[in-house]
Amino acid sequence: METRNEFVPFAIAHPGEILGEELKERGIKQKDFAKQIGMQPTHLNSLIKGKMDISEKIACKLEAALGISFTDWMNLQANYHYYSRLIKARGEEEGLAQQKENKYNTLLNLKAIYTYFNISWVEAHKRIQFIEENLEDLRKVMSCKLGYYKKSDACQIDERNLRTWLYIVNRQAKEVSIECNYVEGNADRAAKQIATYANEGSLTIEVIKETLNRNGILYLHVPKLPKTPVDAYSSKLYGRYTIVATYRYNDIDKLAFDIIHELGHISLHIKNDNESFISMDEHILDAKEREANKYASEYLVPSHIWKQIMAGGTNSLNPYHIVDQIALRAREHHISPSIAVARYKRESNQYRLSKYRSAKIT
């Protein structure tokens, strides 16, 4: 449409309107000017209202009367015709694009996509071009088995928003590159490294990203959308293992567990492109999710160490004294007290205990 590859205005003034403004600026009445250039007042009025074009004859008269060149008037008229055609064509294209947006919006939350990629302000046909550049991503999302995730019956999930989140993930995964390639065993190496950082209390977002990327695994952060209580996601996208986190909870220990959990899926379960797992609320777990949970627990606190931590015992039944003892023995084994206590809370259902909370995500 835009053959000159240039900006097309939303409206363009007819040269007759420009003439009308010029006469006003000079304080010349239309009837007097019509008489001056030998033109019927009604014809001049039609010209000023944009109902009549400026011909070569009229342009000569305007040059003589106003000192504005014949060429300028003819260029104004030619540009008016040119851009009027483009504006009309764009209007038709915008109309078709808006129809497509209505169709796609039943499948995806387009507003969320436009906001995430900062294209809300562009024209509809360009937004649709953005969506249709990645129809393969949309097909992948539409064919994605939404059953591969942990969820509770009480968890409200908007599947349109979930598809939208997955679409954004696919798009981001395609656009971001990493230097290192994945080789067998890298997920286990990354899990061990992240667990070490977490137990040392030195884990940060940058450390997670660098560790995964160094092991040939792409790491992304894509915030959750309303009614999509996603914690983390793992998949093999475009031949490359990918882990995505939402930071739904501002808890670095939980993030460490979630990332290692997804590394468990990569190590144990994901072998082919587009196989994926989405971690949400963990009230209902299938066998693969239980395996990934066990994988994460074992890397963060190996079972033989956990037995030693719990074997120490205590003479008190006070839960706060119990966690103090767990934290003390965890330190002796170079395990983060907050990680050890979190595991105890989970296994004993003592979630109300406030001591030894995890650090925030940085």
Q: What is the pLDDT of residue 316?
A: 67
Q: Find the helix or strand (DSSP H, E) in which 233 lies.
A: strand 232-237
Using one digit for the tens of pLDDT, what is the confidence trace for 103-121? 999 989 999 999 999 999 9
Homologous superfamily, domain 15-99: lambda repressor-like DNA-binding domains (1.10.260.40)
Instruction: Provide CATH 3.30.2010 ranges for the chain.
Output: 177-300
Distance, in Å, from the CA atom of 245 to the CA atom of 262, rounded to the nearest integer, reads 10
Q: Is 207 left (phi over 0), alpha (psi -120 to 50) or beta?
A: alpha
Average pLDDT estimate for 271-292: 81
Distance, in Å, from the CA atom of 128 to the CA atom of 110, rounded to the nearest integer, reads 10
Strand-pair category, 232-237 with 276-279 = antiparallel
Query: How many angstroms from the chain centroid is the CA of residue 234?
Result: 17
Query: Under a CB-based contact definition with an 8 Å cutoff, are residues 147 and 280 in contact?
Result: no
Q: What is the pLDDT of residue 43?
A: 94
The residue ranking higher by pLDDT, 141 or 289, is 289
Is pLDDT at 18 greater than 60 in this prediction?
A: yes
Q: What is the pLDDT of residue 314?
A: 64
Phi and psi dihedrals of 10, rounded to 5? -80, -20
Q: What is the DSSP string of 294-330?
A: HHHHHHHS-HHHHHHHHHT--S---HHHHHHHHHHHH
Q: Which of 88-92, 128-132, 134-138, 317-321 has the lowest mean pLDDT?
A: 134-138
Query: Under a CB-based contact definition with an 8 Å cutoff, are residues 109 and 161 in contact?
Result: yes
Query: Under a CB-based contact definition with an 8 Å cutoff, are residues 112 and 162 in contact?
Result: no
Distance, in Å, from the CA atom of 214 to the CA atom of 155, rounded to the nearest integer, reads 35
Using one digit for the tens of pLDDT, what is the confidence trace for 2-16? 444 567 777 889 999
Query: Under a CB-based contact definition with an 8 Å cutoff, are residues 223 and 246 in contact?
Result: yes
Q: What is the pLDDT of residue 4?
A: 46
Reply yes or no on domain 177-300 having CATH 3.30.2010: yes
Query: Under a CB-based contact definition with an 8 Å cutoff, are residues 255 and 207 in contact?
Result: no
Q: What is the pLDDT of residue 2?
A: 43
The CA–CA distances, whole Å, from 262 to 18, 187, 242, 265, 308 equal 65, 9, 9, 5, 27
Is pLDDT at 353 greater than 80 in this prediction?
A: no
Q: What is the pLDDT of residue 282?
A: 53
Q: What is the pLDDT of residue 132?
A: 87
Query: Under a CB-based contact definition with an 8 Å cutoff, are residues 305 and 339 in contact?
Result: no
Distance, in Å, from the CA atom of 168 to the CA atom of 116, rounded to the nearest integer, reads 8
Average pLDDT estimate for 49-75: 94
Q: What is the pLDDT of residue 3?
A: 42
Return the percentage of the chain with pLDDT > 70, whole number: 91
Instruction: Provide CATH 1.10.260.40 ranges for the chain.
Output: 15-99
Q: What is the DSSP string of 103-134?
A: HHTTTS-HHHHHHHTT-TTS-HHHHHHHHHTT
Kindly indicate the confidence band of residue 284, based on its pLDDT and cuts at 50, 70 and 90: low
Q: What is the pLDDT of residue 145?
A: 55
Tokens of 278: 């989405």
Q: What is the pLDDT of residue 40?
A: 93
DSSP-assigned letter for residue 67: -
Q: What is the pLDDT of residue 142?
A: 65
Average pLDDT estimate for 238-260: 95
Is pLDDT at 147 greater than 80 in this prediction?
A: no
Distance, in Å, from the CA atom of 312 to the CA atom of 122, rounded to the nearest integer, reads 64
Phi and psi dihedrals of 177, rounded to 5? -120, 155
Is pLDDT at 320 greater than 90 in this prediction?
A: no
Return the percentage of the chain with pLDDT > 90, whole number: 67
Is pLDDT at 204 greater than 90 in this prediction?
A: yes
Tokens of 349: 């259902």
Q: What is the pLDDT of residue 321?
A: 85
Distance, in Å, from the CA atom of 290 to the CA atom of 292, rounded to the nearest integer, reads 5
Using one digit for the tens of pLDDT, what is the confidence trace for 261-281? 999 999 999 988 878 898 886
Strand-pair category, 240-245 with 218-221 = parallel
Tokens of 168: 């954004």
Is pLDDT at 148 greater than 50 in this prediction?
A: no
Is pLDDT at 153 greater than 90 in this prediction?
A: no
Helix (H, G, I), strand (E, B) or coil at 340: helix
